[in-house]
Amino acid sequence: MKSQQTIFSGIQPSGDLHIGHYFGAMKNWVALQNQYRSIFCIVDEHAITVPQDPEKLRERTLDIAMWYLAAGIDPKRSIIFVQSHNSDHTELSWILNTITPFGELERMTQFKDKSSKMKKAGIPAGLLNYPTLMAADILLYQTDAVPVGEDQKQHVELARTLARKFNSRFGVTFKEPKELIQKFGSRIMSLQDPTKKMSKSDENKNSYIGLLDAPDDIRGKIKIAVTDSGKEIIFNQEKKPAIANLLTIFSLFSGLQIKDIEKKYKRKGYGEFKKDLGNIAVAHLEPLQQKYRALKKNPEQVKEILREGVKSAKQISSKTLADAKQKIGFL
Ligand code: AQP
């Protein structure tokens, strides 16, 4: 039991959650909360780095808290709160911005991806500074490890760099965090383009399986998911990326090893494999959806969990922030 070690992670309320968030984030957190002091945030301040509809943002923020609870995060064991409810995050973020090299932010893959879709004059500075806010999120809680999907690795590395830089300039203030990336399922790919990460902001809804998708939609999306040439169902990321992705999803839902799934479908076609995958996905997501719907009927109970959560979060973060402010020379 690593009772002294802390993990911190979060999800942005910038769209509807999909199975990438479940397998790449929440499902792992549920297991990790038994080993670590666990802090799970709904990072609404990150979400506004791209335009959001205010009413939808509010609704999605509460929805994500409901998904955390439905997935099995236990508020008695883990702290669950909303980022904008704790102003320590933006305050530390400003301080860290003063030691963050502009060039490092410009080199971030996620910034390059998201900004490449915008006109230069329209790129918000917040999109560039997002990793510094994420560093503040992590460093405020003296975090040891950050359980994230593969795409977030670069941002955790920056948090570590900033902690080291601040510590060496002003004296030890922050722990240097590490990313905690599971070997399998840390990068679920789009069902329509296996070279792209499954993403909630993808305009093509057929590219992802939403956690709240109806059974027929889940089956339908898997049925029309792109496949590779040839007929065999084998795991080969380079030659058969689409089938490798579907095999990964099959394995995550069923708990079966890839080699056993390959054996099972040795002389069978893509059609049968996809039909079975659709049914397994529906069977797995239905109980999760039921739990979410039960919570949706009682939003006050969830809001209360968030109110308690931010109190516990603030107890930890306020100490770190006060220390950082004292060290840099604020009166
Ligand atoms: N496809 C994925 N496979 C595995 N893990 C994933 N995560 C996201 N997509 C996948 C992990 O979920 C956590 C929260 O992600 P986020 O919503 O805060 O940001 P994101 O990574 O930018 O997710 P999206 O879906 O791509 O959102 P948009 O489209 O809004 O940018 C992270 O740990 C992430 O790794």
Q: What is the pLDDT of residues 4-46, one digit of tens each?
A: 799 999 999 999 999 999 999 999 999 999 999 999 999 999 9
Whether pLDDT at 231 is above 90: no
- Which pLDDT score, from 0 to 100, does residue 182 have? 87
Nearest to 42 by CA among 60, 28, 55, 27: 60
Residue 42 CA, ligand 1 centroid: distance in Å: 13
Residue 11 CA, ligand 1 centroid: distance in Å: 7
Residues in the chain: 331
Radius of gyration of the chain (CA): 21
Q: Residue ranges per domain, the chain?
A: 6-187+299-328, 205-293
Residue 35 CA, ligand 1 centroid: distance in Å: 23
- Which pLDDT score, from 0 to 100, does residue 7 have? 98
- Which pLDDT score, from 0 to 100, does residue 185 have? 83
Q: Do residues 105 and 111 make contact, with C-beta atoms less than 8 angstroms apart?
A: yes
Q: What is the DSSP letter of 77?
A: T
Q: What is the mean pLDDT of residues 174-201?
A: 93
- Which pLDDT score, from 0 to 100, does residue 3 have? 53
CATH top-level class of 6-187+299-328: alpha beta
Q: Do the domains spanning 6-187+299-328 and 205-293 agree at the CATH topology level?
A: no
- Name the residue at shortest CA distance from atom 2 of ligand 1: 20
H helices of the chain, in order, are: 19-21, 27-32, 44-47, 54-71, 88-97, 102-106, 109-116, 125-139, 153-170, 215-223, 241-254, 258-264, 270-296, 299-328
Burial, 239: exposed, middle or buried (Cβ in 10 Å; 0-12, 13-18, 19+)?
exposed
- Determine the residue of 43, 67, 152 to mutate for testing ligand 1's pocket, defined as the one with the most ligand atoms within 8 A of the Cβ atom: 152
Tokens of 126: 């917040």
Q: How does the average pLDDT of the chain come out, rounded?
A: 95
pTM: 0.94
Instruction: Give per-residue pLDDT as tens, 126-164.
Output: 999 999 999 999 999 999 999 998 889 999 999 999 999
In short, whether 199's Cβ falls inside 6 Å of ligand 1 is yes
Residue 216 CA, ligand 1 centroid: distance in Å: 24
In short, whether 245's Cβ falls inside 6 Å of ligand 1 is no
Tokens of 226: 């792109």
Using alpha carbons, list the distances in angstroms from residue 322 to 66, 142, 298.
32, 13, 37
- Which pLDDT score, from 0 to 100, does residue 1 have? 46
Q: Which CATH architecture has domain 205-293?
A: Orthogonal Bundle (1.10)
Q: Do residues 288 and 71 make contact, with C-beta atoms less than 8 angstroms apart?
A: yes
Among the atoms of ligand 1, which is closest to the Cα of residue 12?
18
- Of 27, 200, 240, 274, the catalytic one is 200
- Name the residue at shortest CA distance from atom 33 of ligand 1: 148
pLDDT above 70 coverage of the chain, percent: 99
The residue assigned the tokens 């090893």 is 257
Nearest to 190 by CA among 130, 111, 245: 245
- Of 27, 117, 153, 197, the catalytic one is 197
Higher pLDDT, 204 or 229: 204
- Name the residue at shortest CA distance from atom 29 of ligand 1: 201
